[in-house]
Amino acid sequence: MISKERVKELALEKIVELDYFLVDVKVSSTNEITVLFDNEEGVGIKECLFVSRHIEGNIDRDIEDYQLTVCSPGIEKRFVVKEQYLKNIGRGVKVKTDEGDIIKGELKSYSDKNIVVETSKKQKNKKELLIEQITIPTDTIIETKLIIKFK
């Protein structure tokens, strides 16, 4: 079986060169390899090919066959690394906590210890919105996803 560590090492060689960040590497028992990476502006096909060709050039298919997918994580995927939080400051997020709370709002800040999400709610019998900044410890976060808005 192809080692996840080897794939990660190969992917990082080119991802760092591009000034991108690695999100995740998965290697299944059937050698289906998935490499997810990103940056502030997103990932293009050219960058995916660059990383993919480097990995393919260093893992011999004659010794062990595999299927390789190299792409960005996509907007519907949960956040996995701190760089995804930093990239999405100022955007709408949905956060699930280990206490079952679901908080929706604008991601205001990120640190290794917590994130801050600004929520806005309508108040009864009032025109103005109630704006609240909620600090969520990162060790209580089960999942954070981007909120997709269609205009």
In tens, the pLDDT along 19-70 reads 999 999 999 999 999 999 999 888 999 999 999 999 999 999 889 999 999 9
Which residue, among 108, 110, 133, has the nearest Cα to 120 in the 3D structure?
Answer: 133
Backbone angles phi, psi at 45, to 5 degrees: -60, -35
Domain 82-146, CATH class in plain words: mainly beta
Q: Is the pLDDT of residue 133 over 90?
A: yes
The CATH number that domain 4-71 falls under is: 3.30.300.70
Enter the tokens of residue 27.
């290697």
Which part of the chain is CATH 3.30.300.70? 4-71
Give the pTM: 0.84
In tens, the pLDDT along 89-102 reads 999 999 999 999 99
Which part of the chain is CATH 2.30.30.100? 82-146
Enter the tokens of residue 114.
């917590």
Q: What is the DSSP letter of 138?
A: G
Rounded Cα gap, residues 33 and 134, in angstroms: 38
CA angle, residues 10, 23, 2, in degrees to nearest 5: 40
